[in-house]
Structure 1
Amino acid sequence: MGLCFSLCKDDEEIGDIQRTTEDNRLARDGQIAEEDKTAKYRQITEGDRMAIDEETTKEDQKVSVDQLARDDQVVVEDEIGQGDDVAGHDAKAEDKMINEEEYISELCRKYSADRPIPEEEAELFLKELTFPIPTKPHLTLSEDDVAGKRIFVIGDVHGCYDNLLTLLHVADIDKNPNALLIFVGDIINKGPKSLEVLNFVRSSNSYSVMGNHERAAVRKLRLIKMNVGYEPKASKQWLHDLNGSDYEYLQELPYTISIPSLNAVIVHGGLLPGKPLEEHTQDEMLLMRNIIVEGNELKATKHISQGQLWGELWKGPRHVYFGHHALEGLQRYPYATGLDTGCVYHGSLTGVFLTGDKKLVSVKNEGCRNKEVIQSEEGDPGAAM
């Protein structure tokens, strides 16, 4: 497959996320806290390094294992312009909507394959433009949709295709026509077989919510299709193998999947207690890990050094299944289950049945690792992504 999109002038319009005014936003739950470039790890295992989000200015930032052991900290890689400072970002949303078409047209006039867009301009594009809203941001599966199915929710795969097949075999559903798979997002990036995982999810009629890595891929694909000479980094070269249908599929992934008959909801990052699904921001659903409690106000943060794990504060009534937090590993609370057990970081891939015996199944990673990570470690044994 080859990536074949129209020229800049035919680029589709991007919808903006519905935003509230600053006064209303400050009065409601869910404002993301101020970004802190460093975060204190809750768990660090000797000899293994973990990375967090990949949508960064410097995706390959490194920190030594010795430093991790010494002060229990790591540079947190997070999404440019989509982090904790939502207030400042939202205040400029209207101006961005007004100027977006002009901005894109200017980039198309200035750059081409013969005159590639500079890295700083590309980073500005990836952080500043609004993101297209899926047609169904909150998907609901009816009782008929899941009737007679063995529902199996799977944690962050990150391109570890072989581990995914192993998990399905161990769970005894690899050849079961009644199995219905639901992924918590981040099915792609970091691992070596993102395209294979994406093709599997699509061809098996499985479901997935959008993770921050799917959002990052769509942003990069938009920049590629503008024909401004943008070239993704080595670990993202697989994006060139996607076609227009793949792009639309990733763009249309819902933020949440609800299954009322099973009292379940699936999201990538997290949810704020007491806040309706429809009022959550993209960043809250895709990036949050913790909650900061300030009086009667709850604020979501992506940083693990602030507040407490959001699952600890989630009191239902629906049970939430989520991913995004490999450093914390398996999380099990009365009304929330975190399934990101760090497969791509030499951890394991985990899934849980929502029907039948509701068994949790996990398989150890056996060789799934991004080549760029391996090469960086060979060149600098004390470095981690």
Structure 2
Amino acid sequence: MKSKPGIWMIGDLQGCYEPLRELLAHPDIQSDPDAQLWFAGDLVNRGPDSLATLKAVMALGDRAISVLGNHDLHLLAVAAGVRKAGKSDTLDDILNAPDAQEMIDWLRHCPLAHYEQRHLLVHAGVLAKWDVEKTLELAAEVEAALRGPDWKAMLQKMYGNEPVYWKDEFEGGKRLRVIINALTRMRMCDSHGHMEFSFKGAPINNGQLMPWFDVPNRAIRDDTVVFGHWSTLGLMIRPDAICLDSGCVWGRQLTAMRLQDHKLVQISCQQYRNPQGS
């Protein structure tokens, strides 16, 4: 009897095509050709080949599920004309491609959260007040706006650090901004669970500031949140939280983990390191 296809969860790619190609050719992943591949977001930007990376993920078809990361949303904003490209961006090859619109539309239809087998995949984190059901509902609000005819106008409201907390009464741009910031940008929170965006280094927990996954009384307790976004945290495996951003674009490693048994496949990225990624 043929075994059920597995699920491999993969950390931030950030335009690093060669490590992705090497990962997909790894015997452990090749041995399960029907396996689902979950990508933790930030498919593009900063690395040397955003175009090939994005096309490779798209070519996986239904096998691939990628949540949107902050760099993916930045690409959408630049494509929409609501944000200028930054000096360290490596997005021109996508924006200037003849099929650029097809790639932009594909990204617009990616989710912000995905849940299966008691694992919740997001790019950055989940606010302490949100359980799995609430997270998926709020993610769906942003997804609907991104897939709608006014998606460019929605992206104009995305930028800013305020509010840093959640209230069900929030509406409009304020509401969408909190959802996007939590799911794609958050790393640290204060003791009240309010987001703190200025801290980007390795995590600390001094009672005043702490990683979002250490905020007391989190609503998600019996499921595992899988995320990327935090290369200075690196690979972290806990029953309630798994970080898969092991700094591929910074010349460290690209990490994949099999959901069913936590088997790891890691690709060294030192030889592929992009000088811009530092």
For 1:45-81, what per-residue CA distance to the aligned partner results, in whole angstroms no more than 9, with x for missing partners?
xxxxxxxxxxxxxxxxxxxxxxxxxxxxxxxxxxxxx
1:301 aligns with 2:196: yes
Quote the residue 1:19 is aligned against. none
SS in 1 for 2:242: strand
Whether the 8 Å contact between 2:49 and 2:90 is mirrored in structure 1 is no
Quote the residue 1:332 is aligned against. 237
Give how far 1:367 is off: 2.3
Aligned partners of 2:85, 2:231: CA distance in 1, in Å?
29
Q: TM-score, normalised by structure 1?
A: 0.52
Give how far 1:171 is off: 5.3
Quote the residue 2:185 is aligned against. 287
Alignment: residue pair count: 218
Quote the residue 1:61 is aligned against. none
Aligned partners of 1:166, 1:199: CA distance in 2, in Å?
15
Quote the residue 1:312 is aligned against. 214
- What amino acid does structure 1 have at the position aligned with 2:126? L
For 1:320-356, what per-residue CA distance to the aligned partner results, in whole angstroms no more than 9, with x for missing partners?
110000011112222110000001101101111112x
Extract unaligned runs of 5+ from structure 1: 1-146, 374-384
Aligned partners of 1:153, 1:195: CA distance in 2, in Å?
21
Q: How does 1:255-294 map to 2 (within 5 A)?
A: 255-259=112-116, 262-275=117-130, 276-277=134-135, 278-279=137-138, 281-294=179-192
Residue 171 to residue 289, structure 1, CA distance change in 2 (3 Å): farther
Whether the 8 Å contact between 1:235 and 1:372 is mirrored in structure 2 is no
Q: How does 1:241-256 map to 2 (within 5 A)?
A: 241=97, 242-256=99-113
Quote the residue 1:364 is aligned against. 268
Give how far 1:291 is off: 2.0
Give how far 1:361 is off: 1.9
Residue 352 to residue 231, structure 1, CA distance change in 2 (3 Å): closer
Give how far 1:359 is off: 0.7
Aligned partners of 1:272, 1:173: CA distance in 2, in Å?
33
Aligned partners of 1:334, 1:366: CA distance in 2, in Å?
30
Give how far 1:371 is off: 4.9
1:197 aligns with 2:53: yes
Residue 194 to residue 175, structure 1, CA distance change in 2 (3 Å): farther
- What amino acid does structure 1 have at the position aligned with 2:124? G
SS in 1 for 2:53: helix
Q: How does 1:116-127 map to 2 (within 5 A)?
A: none
Q: How does 1:1-385 map to 2 (within 5 A)?
A: 148-170=4-26, 172-174=28-30, 176-205=32-61, 206-223=64-81, 235-238=90-93, 239-241=95-97, 242-259=99-116, 262-275=117-130, 276-277=134-135, 278-279=137-138, 281-294=179-192, 298-302=193-197, 303-304=199-200, 307-313=209-215, 316-355=221-260, 357-373=261-277, 385=278
Whether the 8 Å contact between 2:78 and 2:85 is mirrored in structure 1 is no
> Identity percentage over the alignment?
30
Give how far 1:232 is off: 7.0
For 1:72-127, what per-residue CA distance to the aligned partner results, in whole angstroms no more than 9, with x for missing partners?
xxxxxxxxxxxxxxxxxxxxxxxxxxxxxxxxxxxxxxxxxxxxxxxxxxxxxxxx
Aligned partners of 2:209, 2:27: CA distance in 1, in Å?
35
SS in 1 for 2:42: coil
SS in 1 for 2:28: coil
